């Protein structure tokens, strides 16, 4: 089917243009912080009734979260996806006008920011990672929808009736809308799974459990979609015509998630709480 006629520029005022991609980052943080505020305010959800920090402090953290996502995402892309180019052209490292953000790098930056912020407040940093796991799916959903609007990161050719002909594809073939697959799996579905875990099974009472569920869900979803998503042109497939950098980077996230789930499920008391 043809690509929907959606302008990647959401708002244009004279020479100033605001893209949907930028708005996805902005509203991902704002909506995530709003949902996080509701979670933090509901103390009965948390281990010993103690969230990692006060609900009102989420707005202070949101500022640092935005910086951490952008810086971590860019550094991750430079290191993992195109390091030789940026070593030859270091001035281009700060040029994000043509894209170039890594979700894995942004995730690492966000985790580091959450740990440092929570420690400064005297809270349990594992619970802060749980908070991130509960809210990060909102930003992922919006980000993947923005990828679709930008007609980037699309998939391999397909004969499926929902295949999309992207205007940026030089071959003009119907392709898997892999951005929408990721939005559905890593965003919407994972949000619903974690919502059930936090509000039905009170998973936030076991620090590390929600973070582990998020990591496992994200990694499995990303690995699965990468089988139909085209790899970055400068990297291609890493092994045997199927392994991608996205899958390689998702494996340690999957392992970390399994470790967190096992740790949280088997510990009666968490020694990390001050």
Binding residues, as ranges, are 144
Q: How many alpha carbons lie under 13 Å from residue 84 in its C-beta half-sphere?
A: 2
Q: Which two tokens stand for residue 15?
A: 């020479």
Q: What is the largest CA-CA distance in the chain?
A: 60
Contact 130, 207 (CB under 8 A): yes
Distance CA 217, CA 253 (A): 10
Q: What are the beta bridge partners of residue 2?
A: 165
Question: Pairing between strand 16-19 and 9-13?
Answer: antiparallel
Rounded to an integer, what distance in angstroms lies between the CA atom of residue 193 and that of residue 83?
36
Sole residue written with tokens 């965003």 = 187
Cβ atoms 167, 4 nearer than 8 A: no
Is-contact 137 194, C-beta < 8 A? Answer: yes
256 close to 133: Cβ distance less than 8 angstroms: no
Helix (H) or strand (E) holding 10: strand 9-13
Containing H/E element for 17? strand 16-19
Tokens representing residue 244 in the block:
């991608």
* Ramachandran area for residue 95 (φ above 0: left; ψ -120 to 50: alpha; else beta): beta
């Amino acid at each position: 089917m043809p690509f929907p006629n959606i302008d990647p520029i959401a708002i244009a005022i004279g020479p100033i243009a605001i893209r949907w991609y930028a708005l996805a980052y902005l509203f991902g943080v704002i909506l995530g912080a709003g949902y996080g505020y509701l979670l933090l305010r509901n103390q009965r959800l948390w281990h010993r009734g103690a969230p990692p920090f006060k609900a009102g402090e989420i707005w202070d953290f949101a500022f640092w979260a935005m910086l951490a996502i952008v810086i971590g995402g860019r550094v991750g892309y430079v290191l993992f996806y195109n390091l030789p180019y940026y070593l030859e052209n270091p001035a281009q490292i700060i040029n994000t006008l043509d894209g170039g953000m890594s979700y894995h790098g942004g995730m690492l930056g966000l985790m580091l920011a959450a740990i440092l912020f929570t420690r400064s407040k005297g809270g349990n940093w594992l619970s802060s990672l749980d908070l991130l796991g509960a809210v990060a799916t909102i930003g992922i959903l919006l980000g993947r929808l923005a990828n679709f609007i930008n007609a980037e990161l699309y998939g391999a050719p397909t004969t499926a009736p929902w295949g999309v002909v992207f205007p940026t594809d030089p071959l003009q073939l119907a392709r898997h809308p892999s951005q929408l697959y990721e939005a559905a799996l890593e965003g919407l579905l994972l949000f619903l799974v974690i919502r059930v875990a936090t509000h039905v099974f009170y998973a936030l009472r076991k620090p590390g459990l929600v973070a582990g569920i998020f990591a496992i869900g994200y990694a499995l979803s990303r690995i699965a979609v990468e089988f139909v998503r085209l790899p970055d042109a400068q990297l291609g497939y890493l092994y045997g015509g199927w392994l991608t950098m996205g899958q390689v980077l998702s494996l340690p996230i999957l392992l970390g998630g399994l470790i967190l789930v096992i740790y949280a499920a088997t510990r009666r008391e968490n020694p990390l709480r001050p």
